A and B are shown apart, each in its own frame.
Chain A
Amino acid sequence: MDDLDREATARQTVAYALLGLVTIGWMAGLVFGFASAGGSGGSLVQTTSQWLVPALQGVIGLAILSVAVVLTAIARRIRIRAHVLSSALPRLLAR
């Protein structure tokens, strides 16, 4: 059960880290979008229209990955909950 708890906590931490990346990703996307609209900047900004949408779809991919990681943590928490209820409920109902 301690292993399950540790796994769930680790996965929650990974999900938070992924969400941090996602936040940085969409903010960078907005900055590049505005820079591209301004028409100034180097070659990276000049070609923004070609790579920005695929890159932002990559950010959406990361966001979905964070959802998946959180769901694996929830699955473990449900297993812990079932274990706790299985041991506690019979004692409570026997009172």
Chain B
Amino acid sequence: MTAATLTHVGRDLAIPRESEGFDMPAMASKMWRPMLAMGLMAVAAGVVVGAVQATLDNSLSVSQVAAWNAGVLFLGIGLLLSAVTFLLATILGELRDGGTSVQEALGEKALILKRPLTGKLFPAAMMMGLMTLLAALVIGFIQAAKLDTDPAAAADIAAWVTPLRFAGLALLFTGVSLALATIVRALRFQASRIQDIAAHRAD
């Protein structure tokens, strides 16, 4: 792989459009729909199970369902937040492609923002959050199984699995926040690039 030529545009670093490596927005534009669909299904399933749980008479069954259903609902919300993160990546792609088309229309070399640290971190934060919620779902089922045979161990699990679920959500929100910060950088880059082109033409 050849090293991309770095150019300063305002306060940001830019690279030529053609030297961008992995096209994350293209992948994200395909992934947000399945994530959204899976998230909606998981949340709907969790709500239905919650309603069914309210009709159960056996208190052990109620506790067991409550133990794993929270994991289903948190995973559903996590999948929806992942879809939001992918949509933000899609918006970044739209900004990049729109900026490229404007520069080409002006007869200038198409430069794009060199992916900032926030742009590298947000997919990782999202994946870590989703994996955490998936692990918490599995642990919820283990906890439900232990309620019958070893209630003390189930209580121990309950004490830390809820914070684990919230940690997963926090990671997903971190991913959303980092993606929004990347969009702010992309907008600043575009404003600087237009100013550079206008200044270049004025000279």
Contacts and interface: CB of A to CB of B under 8 A. Distances in A.
Given A75-B90, A78-B95, A79-B94, A57 B80 contact: no
Interface in B59-84: 62, 66, 69, 73-74, 76-77, 80-81, 83-84
A31 interface: no
B51 interface: yes
A54 interface: yes
B113 interface: no
Chain A interface, >50% SS class: helix
B34 interface: no
Nearest to A58: B47
A86 interface: yes
A74 B91 CA distance: 8
B94 A51 contact: no
Given A82-B98, A85-B98, A65 B50 contact: no
A55 B98 contact: no
B50 A53 contact: yes
A57 B43 contact: yes
B51 A78 contact: no
B36 A54 contact: no
A71 interface: yes
Contacts of B117: none
6 contacts: A54-B46, A54-B69, A57-B73, A72-B87, A75-B94, A93-B198
Interface magnitude class on chain B? 35 or more
Interface residues of A, number: 29
B77 A60 contact: yes
A57 B99 CA distance: 39
Nearest to B197: A93
B201 A93 contact: yes
Given A58-B46, A78-B94, A82-B99, A65 B105 contact: no
Contacts of A21: none
A3 B166 CA distance: 41
Given A54-B46, A85-B105, 4 more contacts: A50-B66, A85-B98, A86-B104, A93-B198
A65 B91 contact: no
B40 A50 contact: no
B3 interface: no
A87 interface: yes
Given A67-B84, A68-B36, A55 B50 contact: yes
